[in-house]
Amino acid sequence: MALSLPLGLRSAVALADYTTWKVGGAADYFAEPESTDELLALLRWAASQGCHQRVIGAGSNLLVSDQGLEGLTLCTRHLQGADLEASSGLIEAQAGEPIPTLARRAARAGLSGLEWAVGIPGTVGGAAVMNAGAQGGCTADILESVTVVDPEQPSQTHTIPAAALDFDYRHSRLQAEPLVVLSARFRLSPGHDPHSVSQRTSANLHSRTSSQPYQQPSCGSVFRNPEPQKAGQLIEALGLKGFSLGGAQISPIHANFIVNTGSASAGEIDQLIALVQQRVLEQHSIALHTEVKRLGRFEDLALAA
């Protein structure tokens, strides 16, 4: 029996258009809510229909199966906006606010602490979930709290302090719990010279764009660094820079990036991830774990992330 779809909900939407890797099959149901109220209404609809749901932001850090995704997929990229308080350094940002946009706005307000984030192609919600980081900084350093909703009980929101999020390297408890991030509160250091903060922010962006393949579809860094080692250096030492499997290629610019050269499938990317993990384990006795999150059905090739 066909479901009665609420306003803004579409069926059979190609998710390749919503991921930075430009791969992935269709979502059974898909929506891009324009407000938190609309998001909550869609979650209530999904709960009433017994329909599984998941949330994506900018579509970075995601590998969506070629077979697509069952249930409801919600994209938060239109849930943008942030309130900055220059005197205290407090920022309240919606889940879909792009991290680079927020970093530049904070710099112009003389707020220091987000300079590292300017090159991350993600959203506030995704940064909180993944404890995104770069250039020696990370989300956990500046996050005060997140406001979330349980999709099984979407009539009530909750605020969780950062201290209760179990932050670790590219990890938070939000990765294991079925909670949807609606907004986040950050505290930056106020009172800095806007020009100086903006210069540092721009320098960080230049550092990333000059050393990473920003001109091709990718998810950003594929593997977590097995500190003190660097994943890219381990992969490069095996001579895998530039190695291709179908349309998926280990970037000749940075070995911790897998790029879509134009015709890659999610399956090819997944196989290339598994091949890298196998080679690094064999040659270096190190198990590489992924930063990227796999959504949907894949053959059991890659090591557990």
54 carries an active-site annotation:
no
Tokens of 233: 């250096």
Q: Crossing angle, helix 99-108 and helix 194-211, to 10 degrees?
A: 150
- Count CA atoms closer than 13 A to 250's CA, side-chain side: 23
Catalytic residue among 32, 115, 268, 291: 291
Element (H, E) at 86: none
The amino acid present at 17, given as its one-letter code, is D
Catalytic residue among 221, 251, 265, 268: 221
221 carries an active-site annotation:
yes
Contact 132, 139 (CB under 8 A): yes
Dihedral angle over CA of 49, 37, 39, 129, nearest 10: -130
Catalytic residue among 54, 77, 104, 170: 170
Residue 282: how many other CB atoms lie within 10 Å: 10
291 carries an active-site annotation:
yes
Closest to 264 in 3D by CA, of 19, 12, 43: 19
Catalytically active residues are 170, 221, 291
